[in-house]
Structure formats: structure tokens, C-alpha cells
């Protein structure tokens, strides 16, 4: 090993005794030019759509999808090709992306995404990787053609104007909203609402400090151990937890919540007397003194039930917390106002109290096409913006406390 090192050292540092310096320099230059040309050639070749669609994964899956969109074919004949969107235009970024791309080539060679089914299953991974890249660079490639500064907002449809002006003020990344603009959206596995992906990617990049409170962005399991092997329950979306420590892929969190002292007492709520679910524990653990500490007990005067303030420590998978609950409510609010005005005027959030919302919402949600997760988030949004939390003068069961023009 030592001799090899010495040899290399000699080779590079000792002047040549046999070949003239001019020959060496010229030879080196020619070799350099050749290598650069070859590199550029390769860069260029791999930057052609021909190359992109030469593998059947792209050709069979992504090309036909793109061909149906305006980015392939439009009135004025302007066309976006694969690299226009998916390869950075600046040199160093481009090289970096090319190196990452070797992973996709590998995937192609070993057949991770070899069939349409496998591709569809794996697509969420590919998409999230690409969405994260767009989120990080502010959708730079989109903006090579569509930049805010060149947009004539006046000529947009009125609804688009509202959205686009807001986005421009925040200099928002295009793909935050325009996911699936050129390809089909991946199957979101129950969370069909693509809006949640923004949250998931935000949580992935969230810096977490010990001793601080955060909110869960998606429903998730909780575990007794840091190896995440013994499941003991689940947290709902927008549940508030305090982070105690991070170990590898796991994070220990503290739950400080309320429960009804009836049955197993395994549904835990965020506030005394309000049925806003934060966690559901397994039956076996909910009454286990070693796990659950009861801090306080008092009767809810509206039902006569005893409520207990409870605390527990549990482990969750890292990367699913964010520091503000507002982005979750933004998604929920949009979903509520669209889905719930198809048949009737949607009542103001603060026109019911937190414990009335589940009954009304449960009676009507069947008429919407919300998926299960979205429905849960919307209900939680309504409850946390209900008259119990509102600072306006609406009382519980205010005039809107029945659905307006609901049905017959």
C-alpha cells in the first residue's frame, strides 16, 4: 500500500526524464479536448428526447401521457421536450442532475419499474423526487418559459387571476400547485388529495428541535420502542406533539391530551370536553399505568362524562412533523368551500361548536367525493375553527346551525 502511494507520488511530482515537456503538454491538451468533446457529446446525446424515450419505461408510460397535454401539442406549435422541464439549464446543476439520473438508469436495468404496474406503484417515489427538486429550485425550468414577471394577469380568467397574483407575490414554485400538468398523478394510496404532497415534502425538510411542539402532517402509527417494531396506536392529522429526542429514523414524542373515562379510554382528544381526536391507542395500552399518566380528572358539565388529562411518550417515524398547522388548514379550507357548496351554501365554520360539527358533517360528507383522509382533515379544521375557538360573536348553534337549503 505504501509503495503504491509512493509510486503515484513519484509519477505526478517527478519531472519526466524521457518525454519532452512540449509533447506532454500538447498530448495532455489534445486528450483534454477529446475528453471534453466526448463529455459534451454524451451530455448532448443524453439530453435529447430520443434518448429519454429510448428506454421503454419512459416510452410506454410517460410519453403517451405527455402527448395528451398542451406541453406536447398546441395551437402555436411551441413544444416542451423532456429535458426542457427535467434537466436543469445551468451547467453545474445539469451535471449534478445527470449524476443523480444514474439511479433511474439503474432502476431501468434491474427492472424496478419494468412493467406498467410496477411503474405505477413506484411512480410516487419518482414523482416526489422530482417535486422536491422543483420545490427546491422554485420550478426554475417552468419559469424559463412562464415567468411571473412576464405574465399579463389582466388577460387571465378571473379565477386564475386570484390564484396567480397570490402565487406571484409569494414567488411560489409552479409545481406546488400544478402537479400532474404533463403526466398522470401517482396513486396517493388513500390520500387521493394531491394537496397533501406539499405537506409531506415540507415535513421532510422540517428542522426539528428537541423540546418544541410540532404537528403531524399525515395520520401515522405510534410505537412503544425506538426500533418502531411495537405498534401501540396512531396519531391523527394535525395532532400536536412535543419532540423529546431523535434517534436514527425514529423520534420520541410526548402526547399531552384528554380522554373520556368510559370504556377503554383509548381515544385521546386535544382539548377538555371537545371531541377533536388527536390519537387512538390500542386497547391493550390505553389503561396501562406504565404507559399512561393521568394528570387530572374533571366532569364535563354538558354530558356528565368524566374527562381525564393524560400524558404518554411514544415513538414515531422521523420526517412527518411541521412547525405550523396553518398549511394543513389552508388545504382543508379549500376542500370545504368547494365540496360543501355543490348542494347548498356551506355554513360558516364558527356557526357550530366543536361537538356539533361531527354530527352535521357526518350526515353530509357522503354527498361529497372527499376521500377518507381529506374528510378527517376537513372535519378537524371545522372543529378547530368552530364557535369554541372563534373570536367573532357567533355563539354555539348560531343562526346557521342548520344547513342552509340543504336538501328538499
Which positions lie near another protein, rule CB under 8 A? 157-159, 162-163, 166, 184-185, 187-188, 192, 260, 262-267, 275, 280, 300-305, 334, 337-338, 341-346, 355-364, 366-367, 369, 395-408
| Grid cell digits, residue 173 | 414554485
Closer Cβ to another protein, 170 or 407, answer by number: 407
Taking alpha carbons only, the member of 273, 280, 278, 249 closest to residue 355 is 273
CB 204 within 8 A of CB 132: yes
Shortest Å distance, C-beta 403 to another protein: 7
Shortest Å distance, C-beta 370 to another protein: 10
Shortest Å distance, C-beta 271 to another protein: 14
Sequence-ordered alpha helix ranges (H) in 221-295:
283-286
Q: Report strand pairing: 306-317 vs 250-260.
A: antiparallel
Beta bridge partners of 271: 274
State the Cα–Cα distance between residues 401 and 195, nearest whole angstrom: 29
| Grid cell digits, residue 152 | 399579463
Q: 319: left (phi > 0), else alpha (psi -120 to 50), else beta?
A: left
Shortest Å distance, C-beta 165 to another protein: 9
Closer Cβ to another protein, 147 or 187, answer by number: 187
Closer Cβ to another protein, 154 or 209, answer by number: 154
Shortest Å distance, C-beta 82 to another protein: 23
- Burial category of 323 from C-beta neighbours within 10 Å (exposed 0-12, middle 13-18, buried 19 and up): middle
Closer Cβ to another protein, 111 or 263, answer by number: 263
State the Cα–Cα distance between residues 175 and 197, nearest whole angstrom: 11
Closer Cβ to another protein, 40 or 392, answer by number: 392
Shortest Å distance, C-beta 37 to another protein: 47
Closer Cβ to another protein, 35 or 70, answer by number: 70
Amino acid at each position: 500500500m505504501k509503495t503504491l502511494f509512493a509510486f503515484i507520488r513519484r509519477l505526478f511530482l517527478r519531472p519526466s526524464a524521457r518525454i519532452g515537456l512540449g509533447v506532454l503538454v500538447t498530448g495532455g491538451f489534445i486528450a483534454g479536448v477529446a475528453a471534453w468533446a466526448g463529455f459534451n457529446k454524451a451530455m448532448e446525446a443524453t439530453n435529447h428526447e430520443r434518448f429519454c424515450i429510448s428506454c421503454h419505461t419512459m416510452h410506454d408510460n410517460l410519453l403517451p401521457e405527455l402527448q395528451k397535454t398542451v406541453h406536447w401539442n398546441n395551437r402555436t406549435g411551441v413544444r416542451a421536450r423532456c429535458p426542457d422541464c427535467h434537466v436543469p439549464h445551468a451547467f453545474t446543476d445539469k451535471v449534478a442532475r445527470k449524476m443523480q439520473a444514474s439511479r433511474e438508469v439503474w432502476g431501468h436495468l434491474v427492472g424496478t419499474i419494468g412493467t406498467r404496474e410496477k411503474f405505477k406503484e413506484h411512480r410516487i417515489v419518482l414523482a416526489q423526487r422530482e417535486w422536491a427538486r422543483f420545490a427546491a429550485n422554485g420550478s426554475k425550468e417552468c419559469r424559463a418559459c412562464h415567468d411571473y414577471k412576464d405574465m399579463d394577469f389582466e388577460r387571465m380568467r378571473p379565477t386564475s387571476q386570484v390564484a396567480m397574483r397570490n402565487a406571484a407575490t409569494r414567488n411560489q414554485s409552479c409545481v406546488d400547485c400544478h402537479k400532474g400538468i404533463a403526466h398522470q398523478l401517482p396513486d396517493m394510496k388513500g390520500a387521493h388529495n394531491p394537496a397533501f404532497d406539499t405537506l409531506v415534502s415540507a415535513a421532510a425538510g422540517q428542522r426539528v428541535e428537541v423540546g418544541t411542539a410540532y404537528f403531524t402532517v399525515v395520520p401515522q402509527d405510534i410505537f412503544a420502542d425506538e426500533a418502531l417494531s411495537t405498534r401501540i396506536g396512531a396519531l391523527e392529522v394535525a395532532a400536536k406533539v412535543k419532540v423529546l429526542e431523535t434517534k436514527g429514523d425514529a423520534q420520541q414524542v410526548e402526547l399531552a391530551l384528554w380522554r373520556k373515562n368510559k370504556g377503554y379510554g383509548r381515544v385521546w382528544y386535544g382539548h377538555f370536553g371537545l371531541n377533536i381526536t388527536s390519537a387512538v391507542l390500542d386497547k391493550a395500552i390505553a389503561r396501562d399505568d406504565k404507559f399512561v399518566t393521568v394528570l387530572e380528572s374533571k366532569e364535563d358539565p354538558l354530558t356528565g362524562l368524566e374527562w381525564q388529562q393524560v400524558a404518554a411518550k411514544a415513538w414515531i417515524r422521523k420526517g412527518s412533523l411541521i412547525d405550523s398547522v396553518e398549511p394543513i388548514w389552508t388545504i382543508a379550507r379549500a376542500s370545504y368551500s368547494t365540496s360543501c357548496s355543490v348542494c347548498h351554501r356551506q355554513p360558516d365554520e364558527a356557526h357550530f361548536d366543536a361537538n356539533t360539527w361531527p354530527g352535521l358533517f357526518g350526515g353530509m360528507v357522503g354527498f361529497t367525493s372527499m376521500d377518507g383522509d381529506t374528510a378527517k382533515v376537513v372535519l378537524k379544521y371545522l372543529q378547530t375553527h368552530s364557535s369554541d375557538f372563534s373570536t367573532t360573536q357567533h355563539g354555539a348553534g348560531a343562526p346557521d346551525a342548520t344547513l342552509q337549503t340543504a336538501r328538499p
